[in-house]
Chains A and B, each alone.
Chain A
Amino acid sequence: MLDFLNRIFGRESNQSRSVAKERLRLVLVHDRIGVSPQLLQSLKADLIQVITNYMEIDEDALEVTLDSSENQVALVANIPVRRMKRKFQTESA
């Protein structure tokens, strides 16, 4: 029913048209920069290593992607935090 109503009023952001456009936009950001998946993977591993010194994170849910807006490319990391570490390891420690 909701689907039917959405079709009639048709301005939902979960329309497949907007989904397609957004997916295409993101995939082209990667294509155009020519960043290899290996590079992102290795960046991800390094990020995890650094961040786990300070907080406990959900490594499986971690997402690192590139995005662009108005001629600028941004590195977007979505890192779910489980909890902070009481005592963080400083270099001297």
Chain B
Amino acid sequence: MLMGEVIVVTSGKGGVGKTTTTANLGAGLASLGSRVCLIDADIGLRNLDVVMGLENRIVYDLVDVTSGNCPFRKALIKDKRFENLYLLPAAQTKDKTAVSPDQMRALCQEIKNEYDYVIVDCPAGIEQGFRNAIAGANQAVVVTTPEVSAVRDADRIIGLLEKEDLREPKLIVNRYRYHMVRHGDMMSIDDIIEILAIDLLGVVPEDEMVVVSTNRGEMVVTNNQSRSGQAYRNIVRRIKGENVPMMDLEEGGFMRKLRRMIGLK
């Protein structure tokens, strides 16, 4: 019997990339051969299915499972591209109180017996939906962007996670713009880490390919040309316990090549 990890992806503030992160971590882990089940815990605002391009396959949802209408295996949707990747979609017509923390705990317990990784996409906010999403988790990933509002909310979330005994959450800084940091117009990784005092799991550079992939219902982690894809692949390997150095965040492209050509780097 497997005993998988249950990882909750959370942030506090909305719109920083929780769902995109969940989908890419899932796809990345599955492409390395792990058995992965993603749970969309954002009841009423279902989105993980669309990001993964699986929106047309939903029959049963999370509330059907927790309320005992159907066994979880029957509700899981198998991904189109990755052999080992499954999604348990959120209910769209119910609200966040349709699930209790105890039900989530029991569900995660059941699923992790059959999967290497269970990744829970947490709703924004710190209310019932958040409490449900973290109930069954034994690890937490906090996603933020380099903005005052997002980092402030991340700090609040880290405090709440630790109160719920989810010690040592790991940080992903999303939508990082190296050129702005270099010009002093964006907080750096070091600034954020210094303030939050938390371990860094990875940095995902701002990348238009994320938008393009999401438009198509694909995950950028499989795009070998994309820098954000590379960042997600590194994060996935770190989750699997590998020691992967942080990628060079300096933008690729013309100026960099030029600088390298004239021997500045």
Q: Which residues of A contact B (CB under 8 A)?
A: 7, 10-12, 15-18, 20-21, 23-25, 27-28, 31-32
Contacts and interface: CB of A to CB of B under 8 A. Distances in A.
A69 B208 CA distance: 39
B32 interface: no
A62 to B, nearest CB: 25
B159 A32 contact: yes
Interface string B12-44: 000000000000000000000000000000000
For A17, A20, A25, A27, the residue with the greatest tally of chain B CB atoms inside 10 Å of its CB is: A17
Given A31-B156, A32-B159, A24 B151 contact: yes
Contacts of B183: 7, 10, 15
A17 B184 contact: yes
Nearest to A6: B184
Interface stretch (B87-95, B104-112, B124-132, B187-195): B187-195
B70 interface: no
A71 to B, nearest CB: 11
A26 to B, nearest CB: 10
Chain B facing A: main interface SS: helix
A16 B156 CA distance: 23
A16 B185 contact: yes
Chain A facing B: main interface SS: helix
Nearest to A28: B155
A20 B155 contact: no
Contacts of A32: 155, 159
B185 A31 contact: no
Given A17-B191, A21-B195, A28 B184 contact: no
A51 B181 CA distance: 44
A27 B188 CA distance: 18
A23 B149 CA distance: 10
8 contacts: A10-B182, A11-B184, A17-B181, A17-B186, A17-B187, A17-B191, A27-B152, A32-B155
B185 A17 contact: yes
A61 B208 CA distance: 46
B185 A15 contact: yes
Top 6 A-B pairs, shortest CB-CB distance: A15-B184, A17-B184, A24-B148, A21-B191, A16-B185, A10-B184
A3 to B, nearest CB: 11
